[in-house]
Structure 1
Amino acid sequence: MYQRTYKEKDLMVKILTKQAGKRMFYIKNGKSKRYPYAAEIQPLTIATFEGVLNEKGLSFIDEVKEAKLPTQLMLDVERNAYATYILGLLDAAFVDNQNLLPWYERAERALRLLNDQPDFDAQGLANWFELHLLTAFGIGIKWDGCVIDGRRDIPLDFSEKYNGVLCQEHWQLDEQRMHAEPRAVRLLMKLAETELKNINSLVLKTDSKTDMARILDKIYDDQVGIHLKAKSFIQQLNDWQNKLIDRKAKRE
């Protein structure tokens, strides 16, 4: 998930394990050029380790049996940032030493999708995790239909006031609703009701992605209250990309 320098040559590495949740591992001489598993303990790597898992305190790695390095993520700054953000969300949502097998499986699938399928939308994948982790943060949002009458056959918008979606018949109840593109709201509703293992491809339009991010950013800023560095970096990337697009449009 991440690593931090400890003392001069050692490392603390947090790993999401399959059987024991998030654990902190002490890597003696982990910063040394002679350490044999420097590549395998890099963030976003999927690996099989042998070592000691302690119920309390630090755990230890003795050997690496198998590893899949995120070679494509190393070359793509944006996808790398989204992968880092997803793991950061998991780290923030759950305490250490808690069995997280379903979330381990989802995280592993997410890393493989981001690394192996360049056409799979990275933001959409992160949005899936944002949606499904809301309950872990103690937030309940109604995505399955209008909070007033349950309708979902007409345009809908997100209402923070009602903590869910409002159909067009009830938009007048919240003048401060998000005024989002209805397609973006429907995509969030679809992601919220679909398990990740059932999503094999994901291609999204830019306009939809903008409103999807706007809605979820509002929820996370106002209700969840976490601000991860990876998310800030993603927002900076988007700002830079938008500025480049604007400059190009002006020149043309």
Structure 2
Amino acid sequence: MTEVFDAIVLYQRDHKEKDLMVKMLTRQAGKRMFYIRHGKSQRYQFTAEIQPLSAATFEGTINTTGLSFINDVKATKDTTFLMTDIVLNAYMTYILGLIDAAFLDNQPITKWYDLIIEALNKLQNGLDPQGIANYFELQLLPVFGIRPTWGQCVICGRSDLPLDFSEELNGTLCQQHWSADEHRLHVDTKAVRILSKLANIDLRLVGTLDLKTQTKQEMARVMDKLYDDQVGIHLKSKSFIQQLASWQNRMMQREKKNDNQTP
């Protein structure tokens, strides 16, 4: 049966000589694989709409088992800003990779589709892409079976003191109880405070994300450690983001050195 559905493209891969297999996250039916006959042909009319990170309203057939098909595109959402900014592109690719890793195919996950659309809106309006990615990392931890306590001490419940994060106790520790874990992460307290806020807020209510470089580095350190040690997934898109950060740091250091040498 032909139906109209909203979807965002996760990725595509070649199939035979001229065809494509395109994986999409649909709002109505979860992740599905679509067979695009002659998708590599220059004459295929929906080439732009089936590119990774594209979002549109499609008409087609979503099958319960096997492959699904696209007949038409009814409307498109502007995601061209992702194609012209390598950093935004990298973070959205990573977010979609997390969603793909967290959920089974054919499982309706409307809530997460709507969150991705909200994230696209936030990124288009200039919110920090790492902060948005950290939001998804935090929100997806329970899906992966990890349920840390954020924003209050796991021992006494206090939230009015500086907090650090303890992997051993699976949550934040207030300053009075830092001695309970000598291997706590020693994270900058501002980074812990922002992560705690992102863990406990609706994305629609996030109006600004003005993050300093040091704070972002600390936030990334916490989330990378949790995903490496406890979740155990290692996405290529995350490795690329880490490489980007390394390149940017080297460029900043070089520019700073050149400025200091300028008479």
Q: TM-score range by the shorter chain?
A: over 0.9
Q: 113, 123, 126: which is aligned to 2:130?
A: 123
Report deviation, 1:64: 0.5
Aligned CA RMSD, in angstroms, stands at: 0.9
Q: 20, 35, 45: which is aligned to 1:26?
A: 35
Q: Which amino acid aligns with 1:124?
A: G
1:48, 1:66 within 8 Å by CA — same for their partners in 2? yes
Report deviation, 1:111: 1.8
Query: Which residue in the other structure is 2:69 paired with?
Result: 60
Report deviation, 1:244: 1.0
Matches within 5 A, 1:107-186: 107-114=116-123, 116-118=124-126, 120-186=127-193
The reply to whether residue 205 of structure 1 matches residue 202 of structure 2 is no
1:110-166 CA distance string (max 9 Å, x none): 12222x212x00000000000000011111111131011011101100111111011
Q: Which amino acid aligns with 2:68?
A: S
Q: Which amino acid aligns with 2:125?
A: Q
May I ask how many residue pairs the two structures share in their alignment? Answer: 250
Unaligned runs of 5+ in 1: none
Q: Which amino acid aligns with 2:84?
A: L
Q: 214, 236, 241: which is aligned to 1:229?
A: 236
Unaligned runs of 5+ in 2: 1-9
1:183-210 CA distance string (max 9 Å, x none): 0000000000001121132221111111
TM-score normalised according to structure 1 size: 0.97
Distance between the aligned counterparts of 2:181 and 2:255, measured in 1?
38
Distance between the aligned counterparts of 1:176 and 1:7, measured in 2?
53
Q: Which amino acid aligns with 1:131?
A: L
Query: Which residue in the other structure is 1:5 paired with?
Result: 14
Give secondary structure in 2 for the equivalent of 1:30: coil
Distance between the aligned counterparts of 2:151 and 2:211, measured in 1?
20
Share of identical aligned residues, percent?
Answer: 60
1:137, 1:224 within 8 Å by CA — same for their partners in 2? yes
The reply to whether residue 15 of structure 1 matches residue 24 of structure 2 is yes
TM-score normalised according to structure 2 size: 0.93
1:157, 1:182 within 8 Å by CA — same for their partners in 2? yes
Distance between the aligned counterparts of 1:152 and 1:191, measured in 2?
15
2:151, 2:193 within 8 Å by CA — same for their partners in 1? no
1:3, 1:43 within 8 Å by CA — same for their partners in 2? yes
Give secondary structure in 2 for the equivalent of 1:227: coil
Query: Which residue in the other structure is 1:84 paired with?
Result: 93
2:191, 2:215 within 8 Å by CA — same for their partners in 1? yes
Structure 1 runs (4+) deviating above 6 angstroms are none
Query: Which residue in the other structure is 2:45 paired with?
Result: 36
Give secondary structure in 2 for the equivalent of 1:126: helix
Report deviation, 1:70: 1.3
The reply to whether residue 196 of structure 1 matches residue 171 of structure 2 is no
Q: 194, 202, 214: which is aligned to 1:187?
A: 194
1:202-238 CA distance string (max 9 Å, x none): 2211111111000000000000011111111000000
Distance between the aligned counterparts of 2:86 and 2:34, measured in 1?
26
